[in-house]
Amino acid sequence: MVEAQGPAPRPGTSRGADHRRDRAHRPAHASRQSDMNAPAPAAAIVSPTAAPTLQFIPLDRLKPSRTHIQALRRQRFDKAALAELAESIKKVGILQPLVGRPAYRSPCINHMPDDPTHEIVAGERRYLAAKLAGLATVPVNVAELTDEQVLEIQLIENLQREGLHALEEAEGYEELMELKSINADAVAAMVGKSRSYVYARTKLLALCPEARKAFYAGALDASKALLIARIGHHDTQRQALKDLTGDRFDGPMSYKAALQHIHRHYMLELAKAPFPTGDAVLVAKAGTCAACPKRTGNQRELFADVKSADVCTDPQCFADKKAAHQARLRAEAEAKGVTVIAGAAAKKIKPHDYSSDLKGYVRLDRTQWIGGKAQTVKQLLGKAMPEPALLEDPHTGDLMPVVSEADLQKALKAKGVRPESRGSVDNYHARQKATEKKNRLETVVRLRTLAALRERNRSRDFTLEDTRMIAEAFFNQLCFDSQKRLVDAWMAEAGEEKPKGHEYVGRFGKRCATMDGQTLGLLMFDAALIGDCHVASYGGGDGKDLQAAAERLGVDAAAIRKQVKQDFAAKAKR
The tally of CA atoms less than 13 A away on the side-chain side of residue 404 is: 7
Q: Which letter does DSSP use for residue 512 in this model?
A: G
Q: Which letter does DSSP use for residue 295 in this model?
A: B
Q: Which SS3 state, helix, strand or coil, does residue 65 take? A: coil
φ, ψ for residue 104, nearest 5 deg = -70, 130
The residue type at 108: C
The C-alpha atoms of residue 394 and residue 467 are separated, in whole angstroms, by 50
Sheet of 361-363, strands arranged across:
340-341, 389-392, 399-404, 361-363
The C-alpha atoms of residue 449 and residue 456 are separated, in whole angstroms, by 11
With beta carbons less than 8 A apart as the criterion, state whether 377 and 403 touch. Answer: yes
Q: Which of 84, 87, 119, 124 is catalytic?
A: 124
225: nearest Cα among 268, 264, 259: 259
The C-alpha atoms of residue 196 and residue 177 are separated, in whole angstroms, by 16
Q: Does 496 participate in catalysis according to the annotation? A: no
The C-alpha atoms of residue 538 and residue 528 are separated, in whole angstroms, by 22
With beta carbons less than 8 A apart as the criterion, state whether 159 and 188 touch. Answer: no
Give 93-152 as a 3 state SS string: CCCCCEEEEECCCCCCCCCCCCCCCEEEEECHHHHHHHHHHCCCEEEEEECCCCHHHHHH
The C-alpha atoms of residue 36 and residue 54 are separated, in whole angstroms, by 16
Q: Which SS3 state, helix, strand or coil, does residue 477 take? A: coil
- Give bridge partners of residue 101 from the DSSP assignment: 119
365: nearest Cα among 395, 391, 326, 345: 391
As annotated, the active-site residues are 124
